[in-house]
A and B are shown apart, each in its own frame.
Chain A
Amino acid sequence: MQNITNFLSHFFVTGDPMIYGADASIALASIGIVVVLTYFKKWKWLWDEWLTSVDHKRIGIMYIIAALLMLFRGGVDALMMRTQLALPNMHFLNAEHYNQVFTTHGTIMIIFVAMPFIFGLMNIAVPLQIGARDVAFPFLNALSFWLFFFGAMLFNLSFVIGGSPDAGWSSYAPFAGAELNPGVGQNYYLIGVQISGIGSLATGINFLVTILKMRAPGMTLFKMPMFTWSILITSVIVIFAFPAFTVALALMTIDRLFGAHFFTIAAGGSPMLWANLFWFWGHPEVYIVLLPVFGIFSEVIATFAHKTLFGYVVMVWSMIAISFLSFITWLHHFFTMGNTAPVNAFFSISTMLIAIPTGVKIFNWLFTLNRGRIEFTTPMLWALAFIPNFTIGGVTGVMLAMAPADYQYHNSYFLVAHFHSTLIAGTVFGIFCGLHYWWPKMFGYLLNEKLGKWSFWVFMISFNICFMPMYFLGLMGMTRRMYTYPAGLGWGPINFIITIGAFGMGLGFIIMALNIVWSAIHGKKDTTGDPWDGRTLEWSTASPAPEYNFAHIPTVSTRDAFEAMKEEKREGRTKPQLPFKPIHMPNNSGIPFIMGGFMFVAGFGFVFEWFWMGIPGLLGVVACMIARSFVYNDHHHIPADEIERIERAAGRLS
């Protein structure tokens, strides 16, 4: 009995009233979901329509729902930190708890918010933009999603079972090693992120093949929409960066579980190797979450300036240049770790070089706006706010890139302000922009403009209240990851202002959530499929797009293909209605979900070093792969009369 009590008190995180509150809310939410699904008899619907779906649009929606939930959690983490730092000598969180909270905040925001949100938007938009009926590998796409989902669930379990990781999102050795960081928290980080990372790699391969091989006839590479271009380049970065991270995480896991010495100080290990491997992935990762939003902003700015994008070819080459440079700048994350001057100089210059293609893009967006008929919709507001706010983040990045000066800024709040300026004003503004822009395509109705603008203004102003003072706080000497500070350093008032800004951003997010709920009931229906007077092919089909996307695959002759089609129509050149043909579509499959479940079981086993659980879990994964290999009947046809019925119901037949 004593043993059992002892085990349970270590297994479950105990002793903190906030954790008990979280336990209770998790239990209540889970029971609530089960009760609602059972009461409304929705289990079969959930399984058939969503959990087994291989439709890129549904997978995209599931990615976005999961990412929004994770954004909520990451945001609560941020508010907990800001509460703790609001005043000097606060005791809201203790040092250990604070470490856990900044670790989960960083990891969740990058791996479980920014990436899945972008994957969600690209799942929804890319196949539609290139005139395809799905991605190249729909089954693999579902698998990617479920690996991400179960990886995220495993990671999030840590704070109620076993304890959270506390070594920062960058998880530096030797602190993250077994000797200095015993317990399961760090294992959760390593294995949860690993599982979702495998899914990310598969997504990269999937979208690269999709874009290279499945474009509508006539759509040459340089006629693709800019968002599709950004995803093509991002996919290449994913493919070359993620395997390095896979290895880094695996090596640290082996260090911790099997006593190897890759990153230890004893027995010849090299903690610096971790920093190199981590940032060899970590820096390209920054561009994995930035280039796609550059694509989104390009689409949105062109659409609402009602002009074609300025400098299209230069835009593409700038992104290619950025993607190349992103692989040779990783060392700027640790200029201060004792590299030689020539090494620091090389990485200093390579980092500054990135400002050139990025600056080119900024000017191209400005020139797109020049003499445009600008329409201030919610997505456009996010895009317009991105330009100045992101530029501030970029310029301070160049300041940090100067290695000698970095010795002053390094790991200060100046750095914290810099990367939040790029990741919030870039990535977060971008995903919100894309969410509002493609929402009608996902659900067939628009988000409310008034609430949308309120959430924009509240969030954007609060963002500046939160992060502008942080630059000065950093120059005044406050370093990142301090859990408290004494009075009398002059940091108190600035920290208080920052905390006000942080809560303001939370309020902006709540207004956005309200907007989603309100619009689900009262939102304006999008009956045309083209609510924004769009320029690219996703707006040429119904909203929401039918399962097969396009009844007829469009033929493309120019950039802004849909704009050209509308032009033709205005000139009275209409094409004759072709007869419908049956469409070949992939079958749903439960294997991705089950395989993700086995991965979760295996991951949980390895977190606790319970090999009796981990190894059968992995065998289950292999069994799923074999089972899938023997499935031959994996496609079906949608008959022509069914297509005609669907098209007629959507009002697309005259």
Chain B
Amino acid sequence: MAESILSLDSKDKKNMPLEYTTEEGDLRIVGFWIFLAAELVLFGTLFASYLVMQSHTAGGPTARDLFKINPVMAETIILLVSSFTCGLGTLELRRHNTKGLIAWLVVTVILGFAFIGLEANEFYSYAVHEGAPISRSAFLSGFFILLGTHGAHVSLGIVWVTSIIIQLAQRGITAVTARKAFMVGLYWHFLDVVWIFIFTAVYLTGLVI
């Protein structure tokens, strides 16, 4: 038995979920949580910038002029459901059911695509039809960059989940693929949480105030 690179005290790993059973998996999951903390600061800074800019419309379209509740509700519901299906995937992971896990991840990716499609359409209609591109006012700069950063994260998430689906299909559920599937789930739920704040701080306050 090889001595590991890691000098962790040997805990009883038998009762742990599969992704925590190797020391490497354990380390990476902790590291990923810390990464998400950094992401929180990143989005926090973007939210702060947006809220400062919210009223700086420079005579251009305001939030109330632009936002429509229907597409926003559709985006919200799709993303929340995708987080739920991602969670169902983790449940299948815990049951060591490769096919179930892959199936739910595929559903998650499809919903992710739908979300990105709707968001791209929303951006396009603002920028082209409503005369509200990023360069129109500080408010729109803040809006496009806050939502665009979230959208870019979701897009990268789609690429990441897809690569993990392929790896699961190739290798089945192992300690390594389990860790990867679990981590991408954390990432996906995190983006969902960010969206809830966007929904509240951008759309709801924009439509009401």
A-side interface residues toward B, CB under 8 Å? 131-134, 136-137, 201, 204-206, 208-209, 212-217, 239-240, 242-244, 246-248, 250-251, 254-255, 258-262, 264, 266-270, 273, 277, 280, 553, 581-586, 622, 626, 629-630, 632, 635, 637
Contacts and interface: CB of A to CB of B under 8 A. Distances in A.
A628 to B, nearest CB: 10
B27 A209 contact: yes
B141 A261 contact: yes
Interface string B152-187: 000010011001100100010000100010000000
A363 to B, nearest CB: 33
B2 interface: yes
Given A243-B42, A268-B138, 18 more contacts: A209-B34, A213-B8, A214-B6, A239-B41, A242-B38, A244-B45, A251-B49, A254-B141, A258-B135, A260-B141, A262-B53, A262-B145, A268-B139, A269-B138, A582-B3, A583-B3, A629-B167, A630-B163
B79 to A, nearest CB: 22
Contacts of A582: 2-3
A629 B9 contact: no
A268 B8 CA distance: 54
A95 to B, nearest CB: 31
Nearest to A240: B41
A215 B7 contact: yes
A570 to B, nearest CB: 26
A353 B141 CA distance: 37
Nearest to B138: A268
Nearest to B144: A260
Contacts of A248: 45
B134 interface: yes
Contact of B5 (A134, A240, A250, A268): A134
Contacts of A208: 34
B38 A132 contact: no
Contacts of A269: 53, 56, 138, 141
Give the bracket for the number of chain B residues in contact with chain A.
Answer: 35 or more
Contacts of B7: 131-133, 214-217, 553
27 contacts: A132-B6, A201-B38, A205-B31, A208-B34, A212-B30, A213-B26, A216-B7, A217-B7, A240-B41, A244-B45, A259-B135, A261-B56, A261-B141, A262-B141, A267-B56, A267-B60, A267-B135, A267-B136, A269-B53, A270-B138, A280-B45, A584-B3, A584-B5, A622-B156, A626-B159, A626-B163, A632-B176
A637 B139 CA distance: 56
Nearest to A583: B3
B193 interface: no
Nearest to A209: B31
A133 B27 contact: no
Contacts of B57: 268
Contacts of A264: 138
- Nearest 7 A/B pairs, CB to CB: A268-B56, A268-B138, A259-B135, A260-B141, A243-B42, A243-B41, A268-B58
B45 A277 contact: yes
B28 interface: yes
Nearest to B134: A260
Nearest to A637: B2
Given A262-B53, A584-B4, A622 B159 contact: yes
Nearest to A267: B58
A251 B46 CA distance: 9
Interface string B31-52: 1001101110110011001001
A239 B49 contact: no
Contacts of A261: 56, 58, 135, 137-138, 141
B89 interface: no
Contacts of A216: 7
Contact of A137 (B31, B53, B167): B31
B138 A267 contact: yes
Interface in B75-108: none
A206 B32 CA distance: 10
Contacts of B141: 251, 254-255, 260-262, 269
Contact of A260 (B30, B135, B176): B135
A259 B34 CA distance: 34
A555 to B, nearest CB: 10
B163 A244 contact: no
A277 B41 CA distance: 12
